[in-house]
Structure 1
Amino acid sequence: MLNHVETKSLSPVFVGRRPELDTLDTALTRATTDPQALLIGGEAGIGKTRLVEEFATTARRRGAIVALGGCVEIGADGLPFAPFSTALRQLRRELPGQLAAAADGQEEELARLLPELGTTAAAREARRDEQGMARLFELTARLLERVTAEHTVVLALEDLHWADASTRHLLSYLFRTLRTGRLVVLATYRSDDIHRRHPLRPLLAELDRLRTVQRIELGRLNREEVARQVAGIIAREPEPGRVDDIFERSDGNAFFVEELAVAADEGCRTGLTDSLRDLLLVRAEGLPESAQRVARIVAEGGSTVEDRLLAAVAGLGEDDLIEALRAAVNASILAPAPDRDGYRFRHSLVREAVSDDLLPGERSRLNRRYAEALEADPALVPADERVTRLASYWYHAHDAAKALPAVLDASVEARRRHAYSEQLGLLERAMELWDAVPDTVRATLRPLDYAEAYPPCGCDPETTPLRYLDLMAEAAVAGRLCGERERSLKITKRALRLLEEDPDPLRAAWFWVQRSRITQSLARGDGWAELGTAQALVRGLPPSEVHAEVLASAASWSMLHEPGPDAMAAAERAVEYARMVGAHDIELNARLTLGSLVVDAGDIDTGLTGMYEVKHGATELGVDMVLARAYVNLPSVLEGVGRSEEAAGLLQEGVHVTRRLGLLDSEGWVWGNLAESLHSLGRWDEAARAAASAHRLGQSAKPRAGGSVRLAHLAYDRGDMDEAARRRADARTFFGTHDPMPQYALPMTWVALGIAAAEDRLPDARAELLTTLDNGFPPGTQRYGWPLLLAATTAEADAHGDPATEPGRPEILGRIRKAAKTLATGVPVWQAHDAWLRAELLRAEGRTDPDAWSAAVAAFEPLERPFDLARVRFRLAEALLASGAGDDERARATELLRLVTVVAGHLGAVPLARLATLLGQRARLALAPARREPASADPAESLGLTSRERDVLRLVAAGHTNRRVAEELFISPKTASVHVSNILAKLGVAGRGEAAAVAHRLGLFPTTQTRERRGAGH
């Protein structure tokens, strides 16, 4: 009703800020191709809001949609996602059809941010949704990308220093993951409020590391700019002496310039006091008493107070209230709220000064009146703010009996919206209030209403009152889900101390499982001692969900640390118990663990079948966390048994699934595993990009470390030892030293050993090996064990000196042979490594055996591992040339080295390319392919392919292995292998997939229907 009242202290002239406005305008232009992200910082009153307003005007003039949202300060609690809800609400008003289409099918989830879209599904509320927040974040990102596909949108979030933790997490997610859309996201914050422990500080540090985020720091105005601002306010040129005085007093702060200019122009000498706080209060104190009273009421109601709520609390007649508001608005103290029927202070600094001036009793009385008014008429405030504001009002009214149920209701609402940080804060407030509340009030509270994390204990939740331990359990989970692991660990420890005084085995076991998870995530230990205590507590108890979860957690831990019969037995019991109690998600998780352990035990087909069944079951039941884990573990097991193409296909699918679910850590794991499979397949550039994605997207340490390990391997194979060492150091930092799992430790040892050998530090390489051999290779670690033994043997073979007399070498080689006997050889890739190691051991002993290297080459040829094949081919060529080198041997060595140089050049494997070139030069071999005659009408003839090679290539292009080629053409597999090698050399390609692609491109077999080789990628 007062929207047209002018505020004369606001300068009509926009002063300074030209470079900053140019930066924003440039970002708007660039947003047509890529999303833009900006942070605007500056002290209170410096002009952040005015800059955003000016930019918004420019953006609208250029056809952009502007959606503004402000962080809301309510009793220092904050409203979950408040700025995003406000901005999306505006976006919905501007583009209703487009936003509805973008949200289609996901309204129930997105309603947690924008309630107008619908209500959340009750089924989603039945059980703690651990992936809910991540899914909500991903859906929000995709919503914005769809809405901005055709419309440029500016999403501006103000006062980030008041942001709730969920808002900070969502903003971080958007800055890191937005990939498409014509979108500018900008946020403002008070830099002078960001003290060392301010919760915004870690986010700013994180965003500083993102090259996609621009930071703008607003400085103070200079004297000339102050003079122009004062002139705009008073509508005439000011006296130089007054400008000097205002400039000195304000120190160039735009808001203080306004206040001082108005005070001086109106002859208010009180405004020229030494206290800036007094300056902020002076015009409020000059208002009529009724207006001062209304200002005090608004100051305690939050950032914005609705008109009807204000009327209910003020107790004034309608006319009196309007006059009081008119006086406050005319004095530029209050202003109509832009997004609702209500009022706010024109500047938060004034509100803070008025609020600080309240007496303690006055503050609590005002909060009580707000709470009573809201209880009497809940429709006085927006529905999505009601419970949070009521909890804050009762808490600050110092009425514990009223505050506790209200705070618990607010915690449930925060959990429903996946705002786990706010839920944790509210639960901690509830624990603070607990002892101050009468028993009669606590007896009315039920676990089913407030505590999803409550572990079953055999009692009836309908009649059993809520207990303090229930709050602690809920808070422990909330802390873990929102990343506040230290707070969660502290709560868990305190709960276990209470359970020592009042024993409850199931509750205690549940808390010990939580403690194990948090300990591992904080890299404080491996978590086994905690799981051992949990197992001891449930041993002998009847089957329960807690019992099943304890067993499943123990089996999962053992799979990673100590795979073997005990781990398999635990997984089998976990599956059995979970089925008995109907815990389908625990059952699927345990079955996934069991499948991996069955593969480790040697029954590969059975184990993989079980894991595929879990993936399908998790998809059908919507158990997203198990599905994400399946896309991590199943391809990892496939890679371990040499089925790299199959693994890569699943992992590429897994990238889309985990991204759709919004699970950044799971997506990081998937990218890391994809990098490993692509590395094996010889797609190194793609592998590097995948590893970089793992490093970038992983929120916790271990997925990022996985990316670093893969980058270290690639750098080593390409000959960049400095980069390999740096990436390994990164991985060690991320992994920590408290949880040395073989899947992490062995690859890092491989890199360290290889670097030491490359730098002629044989003693260091031996030390790395011996430390590992002393610990032994656990079952299921042959995928890491074979390459490590090969690297150590190669280091010995390449070392200078006489193999027969080199000190320590016989002992080292003996240890390697003994260790190799413990590694499984049940699949072709392990058999190939076994043949390679046998040949390499002979070379380390100074013996040249072409037959041993021929066996290694034959073993690797059908495996689609071009780099490994090139390395053994190089050694075979070397052995052939060293064994007498007749014409036949020289011819074969020439063809082998040609293939090696082609593959090494394609991959960028500099050390291997250099070795092949040097060997060819020493043996005086012509490695460059002979110049071909002009192309004939027959492409195969122009390539120099014989009739038999054409037959072989036709079958290779159809996807057949060497053995199948041999069967079709009635030749031996070894002969087929030789033909394939010759074909690859003549085509100048690195592998069978590329050869098939060339054949199809040239139309060599137009009548043959060949199948596409999944995962070839060429």
Structure 2
Amino acid sequence: MPRIGSGVPLVARRAELAVLESALAAAAAGKAGAVLLAGDAGVGKTRLLTEFIARSQATVLTGRCLDVERAGLPYLPFVEALGRLPVSGASGLDDALEQLRLFEAVHTELAEMPGPVLLALEDLHWADAATRDLLLFLVSRLGRQRLLVVATYRVDDLHRRHPLRPLLTELGRLSTVERVELRPFDRADAMAFVSALSDDTLPEATLRGIAERSQGNAFFCEELTAVYGSGTGVPAALADVLLARVERLGRDAQRVVRAASAAGNAVEHSVLQAVTDLDDLDEAVREAVQHNVLVTADHSYAFRHALLGEAVYGDLLPGERVRLHAGYAKVVESPSLLAYHALQSHDLPTALSASIRAAEEASAMLAPVEALRHIEQALQLVNTVPEPGVTEYTLLRMASRTAMAAGHADRAIAYARSSIELADGPESGAYARHQLAEALIPLETAAPEIGVAVAEAWELVKELPPSRVQAKILALRAREWVWAWHSGLDVDELTDLAERAREMAAELGDDDVEIDSLVTLAVFAEWRGRMAEAQRLYRAAATRAAATGAYAVELRALNNLAVSMTVRGRPREALRISEEIIERATAVGLTWSDKAIEARISRHFNRFSLGDLPLDTPIEDLSAAPRWAAQRFEASGLYWLAIAGRFEEVTEAAERLMADIDDLRTLERIRFALAESALWRGDPGEALGQARQILDWLASLPRSGVADSRMAGAIALTALADLAAEARRRRDDTAVRELVAEGERVREIVERHGSHAMHALWAFESGNPEVVVMEGRMAAELSRLHGVNDVDLWQAAVAPSDGFIYQRTVARWRLAEALLDAGRREEAGKELNSAHAEAHRMNAAPLLAAIEALARRARIPLPGITPTSDELLTPRERAVLELVSSGLTNRQVGERLYISEKTASVHLSRVMAKLGASSRTEAVSLAYDRGLLA
């Protein structure tokens, strides 16, 4: 069960609280004042006031107004606040003079109390006339008293003729009065509030859903959190509160509100008139607007709060709902609204045809997410309607294409597979298989299924006369290297297929296929070393695709160009093109498509490669992204978190993602982050295990990435070298020999990756500067594994190039270490200072700590940010290290310090990172050397 709002720390509200505290400070100094705290019901006025009172150092008097219809006692909040009215003979208070005596007595008593005095009056919207008069009297006479009056009221209860309005007008003219309107939480604050209510037990998607439905209202957040697992309806207690507002309206106004609840969104006046058929609609709507049930916007009406509309709709009788939706179906013009109302009124044929039209309209408006929703609704209806006018096969293919555009790769694949089963001829079967292959291409492990689908599609149509489907499949066959990266491929044969596809498409007027074939031909030109021609073809294809509306082809052309720039060692140009892809994808409704997601990842990769991305830069907002796209993008950011030393965040995110993942490319990125994290945490065994899993997976692919295999190899060899260094300190020659043998096996595995590819593609991939950098690190780490910290090999690993700053900085740190081993202290100092500046600029905390640790050991000065020995470790870290030095395990350390074993391990990992140690033994040794332990 969630905690009530008063049971959690105050969320947000800093600005409003500051106004109240400032007013109280002024009152304490002899400048009396009043603050009117306004806001909707449930927005958090009482919670804020309670927090303010708890913090205040004042004499606090509180009183609350009650609904006048339920309690007519005059002056009730003042009676509560003062305990009594300071005048006897209350029966004569109708007399003006007697009332004046009362007002003066209350004023005098408040003024003479030891100050400062805080008079808090709640729910002023329910105040009786006498209370309102007394409040105006008091506030209009504020001066040098040490008094602050704070009064709260509900904005949404103030209809046009509400009796509080004149008082607010009078008070607003006084210089001593300040009005603070408490707004609903924004989404971030609402999510934080709900998370606190649930003790951080709810998943992010649930937090986001509650925040959106509540629209930032704190009370609504509480009620929705209490029943978050029960569906989308409004909780009963909340519905009662909301409906009470509607029940105060007149009969016609209630009729209007009920009709508006079935509209589905804002409803125009003419439509509402047709559905309600009221003689005096204007008066009924005016009453609903004046009572803040409905609001006007753009010539239409909507509920002031969406949950109020939900509550009213939930209170409709079943027959009433059907009648209202049938009425809307007769008058709405939008296909989307017609589909909704026809479905709700059980007119299934109309709902089906309107859903298809709505999908087509959404697609034309470049809104694939909306289009997919309508197509999926049509799929639910197509087999329930006699003579539907469309086949399930056609809808499935539409759904697959649209799901790809919307970024739902899993649904795109599922729909394509289903369409194959329903195909009733060669061409329809070929189209379905082509669609499946297109949907599967983003998945690395789908290569066998892609190859089968393409081969079967070609067999179905190869003997038929030239057709668009033939051209499509020829164009796809020309891209065989994507799923079959083997030496048997012939670039000349693939070029011939692409040319045939382009010519056939041109004859048939199929612009999409013709332009797509140009993109493929640009790839082959690049493999042959004709870079200028390739770049020209990519740009020409992108321009033509944009002009003809072939937006997916346009993004493919730009993506290939960005990859080309990266592979050719031009990360700045690749970065600009990635930005262009993201901008274009957003503009044409492909925000979360495969190419758009990869462009987002590439943008951060290239910024990181250039050292321009501080590693504490927050990841983009993924709240609107489909699951597959969000997982892939989030996973790519974990590596940067690992480099920043945010190990706990990496572990938490990895566990969460790996519990619900079916994309092995995403899993690979997670493993890279875990491996890098393990290296810096001083756990080379874990790093080696993660790197080996990556290498094993890459070996299973028909097309493994050369750069990825080299990076995994570098991590594995680094871990093995660290383990071997520890074994040498233990004088364990057997362990050293086994580790060296394992390193040689890793080197052989990495060298085999991609070597079976056709020569043109292998040469293209191998020239990637990232591959060169990682191969340099591998050679140097292999040498370190053999016990030789080779200066020349490390110098080769830091050779100048544009990009890969982090990897080269790591190599520069190791180069400095090798130079020190070789007695070349001055050169080592230059390398350390250079590495230190780069690591600091990137906020690569573990690397920075390792560089500083090496500088201290060698007594090499660094810029003034190097901490002293006393500043390096926190008291808790020092206590953990002292116990570890005495031979205690993490569990025993935890017991001694009354912390968990896991927490002790985290502290030790941080110590090792700061000291640049690869093991607990080395950490203790380094600490003794540096005087951190006596």
TMscore range, shorter length: 0.5 to 0.7
* Aligned mate of 1:899, from 831, 834, 840: 834
Q: Secondary structure at the match of 1:214?
A: coil
Shift of 1:912: 3.5
Tell me whether 1:878 sits opposite 2:817 in the alignment. Answer: yes
Answer yes or no: is 1:717 the counterpart of 2:643: yes
Q: Match for residue 782 of structure 1? A: 706
1:427 shift after superposition: 2.8
Letter in 1 for 2:837: V
Q: Which residue of 2 aligns with 1:94?
A: none
Q: Give runs of aligned pairs for residues 657-806 of structure 1, distance below 5 A.
A: 657-665=584-592, 667-685=596-614, 689=617, 692-693=619-620, 698-702=625-629, 704-709=631-636, 711-729=637-655, 732=658, 736-737=661-662, 739-741=663-665, 747-774=669-696, 776=699, 781-799=705-723, 800-802=726-728, 805=734, 806=736
The counterpart of 1:850, out of the listed 791, 795, 798, is 791
Q: What code does the residue aligned with 1:853 have?
A: W
Please give the per-residue CA displacement for 1:848-898, whole angstroms capped at 9, x wherever unaligned: 4433334444xx224454433433333333333323x3xxx3332332223
State the alpha-carbon separation in 2 of the partners of residues 718 and 403 from structure 1.
53
The aligned amino acid for 1:878 is E
User: Would you say the 8 A contact 1:672–1:703 is kept in 2?
Assistant: no
Give 1:532's aligned amino acid. V
Give the alignment of 1:109-128 within 5 angstroms.
none
Give the drift of 1:808. 1.7
Give yes or no for the alignment of 1:908 onto 2:822: no
Q: In 2, distance between residues paired with 1:328 and 1:210?
A: 30
CA distance in 1, matches of 2:714, 2:668: 13
Specify the alignment match of 2:433 in structure 1: 512
8 Å CA contact 1:718–1:908 kept in 2: the answer is yes
- Structure 1 Cα separation of the partners of residues 646 and 336 of structure 2: 58
Q: Is the 8 A contact 1:640 1:783 kept in 2?
A: no
Instruction: Name stretches of at least 5 consecutive residues in structure 2 with no aligned partner.
Output: 1-36, 50-124, 126-153, 166-180, 191-202, 224-235, 756-762, 865-934
TM superposition shift of 1:845:
0.9
Distance 1:599 1:814, change over 3 A: farther
Q: Render the CA deviation track for 1:660-698: whole Å, top value 9, x for unaligned.
A: 44543255432321211122212231x653x71275674
Pick closer, same or farther for the CA change 1:357–1:900 going to 2, 3 Å: closer
1:960 aligned partner: none
User: Is the 1:207–1:213 Cα contact (8 Å) retained in structure 2?
Assistant: no
Residue 731 to residue 784, structure 1, CA distance change in 2 (3 Å): farther
What is aligned with 2:10?
Answer: none
CA contact (8 A) 2:813 2:831 kept: yes
- The Cα of 1:485 is off from its aligned counterpart by 7.8
Alpha-carbon distance change, 719 to 565 in structure 1, aligned in 2, over 3 angstroms: farther
- Quick one: which of 524, 533, 546 aligns to 2:453? 533
Whether 1:627 and 2:627 are equivalent positions in the alignment is no
Query: Aligned partners of 1:677, 1:490: CA distance in 2, in Å?
Result: 34
Question: In the aligned structure 1, how far is the partner of 2:473 from the partner of 2:243?
Answer: 59
The alpha-carbon distance between structure 1 residues 893 and 322, as it changes in their structure 2 partners (threshold 3 A), is closer
- CA contact under 8 A between 1:850 and 1:879: conserved in structure 2? yes
Deviation at residue 773 of structure 1 after TM alignment:
4.6
Mapped pair 1:214 → 2:216: yes
Q: What is residue 420 of structure 1 aligned with on the other side?
A: 371
3-state SS of 2:707 partner: helix
Instruction: Report if the CA contact (8 A) 1:477-1:488 is conserved.
Output: yes
| Contact persistence 1:756–1:764 (CA under 8 A) | yes
Aligned to 2:382: 431
- When the two chains are superposed, the root-mean-square deviation of aligned CA atoms in Å is 6.0
1 CA distance for matches of 2:262 and 2:301?
12
- Alignment of 1:867 onto 2:796: no
Query: Could you say which residue in structure 2 is the equivalent of 1:32?
Result: none
Q: What is the count of residue pairs matched by the alignment?
A: 646
Structure 1 residue 585 corresponds to structure 2 residue 509? no
CA distance in 2, matches of 1:296, 1:721: 53
Alignment equivalent of 2:742, drawn from 812, 824, 847:
812
Asked whether the equivalents of residues 420 and 481 of structure 1 are also in contact (C-alpha less than 8 Å), the reply is no
Partner residue in 1 for 2:778: 837
Aligned to 1:470: 394
Deviations 1:939-979 (A, max 9, x none): xxxxxxxxxxxxxxxxxxxxxxxxxxxxxxxxxxxxxxxxx
Residue 577 of structure 2 aligns to a residue whose secondary structure is: helix
- The CA deviation string for residues 697-745 of structure 1, in whole angstroms up to 9 with x for no partner, is 7434245423432x332233344443444454456457x34x434xx56
Q: Give the match for residue 482 of structure 2.
A: 559
Give the conservation status (yes or no) of the 8 Å contact 2:335–2:355.
no
Residue 394 of structure 2 aligns with an amino acid whose one-letter code is: D
Partner Cα separation in structure 2 for residue 781 and residue 836 of structure 1: 17
* Aligned residues of 1:639 and 1:647 also touching (Cα < 8 A): yes
Q: Cα 1:533–1:640, aligned 2, differ >3 Å: closer, same or farther?
A: same
Contact 1:601 1:780 in 2 (8 A): no
Q: Give the Cα separation in 2 of the matches to 1:702 and 1:220.
A: 31
For residues 808-845 of structure 1, what are the alpha-carbon distances to aligned partners after superposition, in whole Å with 9 as ceiling and x for unaligned? Answer: 22322322443454476535554444444333322221
1:651 aligned partner, one-letter code: S
In structure 2, C-alpha distance between the alignment counterparts of 1:828 and 1:489, rounded to whole Å: 35
Matched position secondary structure for 2:800: helix
Cα displacement string for residues 640-660 of structure 1 (whole angstroms, at most 9, x for unaligned residues): 443222222323444443344
Q: 1:471 to 1:920 in 2, by over 3 A?
A: closer
Structure 1 residues 434 and 758: CA distance shift in structure 2, 3 A: same
Taking structure 1 as reference, are residues 390 and 864 closer, same or farther at Cα in structure 2, changes over 3 Å only?
closer
Partner of residue 20 from structure 1, selected from 38, 43, 51: 43
Q: In the alignment, is the contact (CA less than 8 A) between 1:664 and 1:699 conserved in 2?
A: no
Once the two structures are superposed, what CA deviation does each residue of 1:430-465 show, in whole Å capped at 9, x if it has no partner? 624543x4xxxx7xx6xxxxxxxxxxxxxxxxxxxx
1:20-169 alignment runs, 5 A limit: 20=43
Structure 1 contact 904–912 (Cα < 8 Å) conserved: yes
Indicate how the Cα distance of structure 1 residues 609 and 688 shifts in structure 2: closer, same or farther if over 3 A, else same. farther
Q: Secondary structure at the match of 1:682?
A: coil
For the 8 Å contact 2:382–2:391, the answer to whether it is kept is: no
Amino acid at match of 2:431: W
CA contact (8 A) 1:531 1:553 kept: no
**Is 1:545 equivalent to 2:468 in the alignment?**
yes
- Please give the residue correspondences for 1:276-291 in structure 2 after superposition, counting only pairs within 5 Å: none
Q: Deviations over 1:775-834 (max 9, x none)?
A: 538667222232222222222222212396514223223224434544765355544444
Shift of the 488–332 alpha-carbon distance from structure 1 to 2, 3 Å rule, reads same
Q: In 2 relative to 1, CA 204–714 (structure 1 residues): closer, same or farther, beyond 3 Å?
A: closer
Residue in 1 aligned with 2:569? 642
| Separation in 1, partners of 2:515, 2:780 | 43
Distance 2:282 2:294 in 1: 10
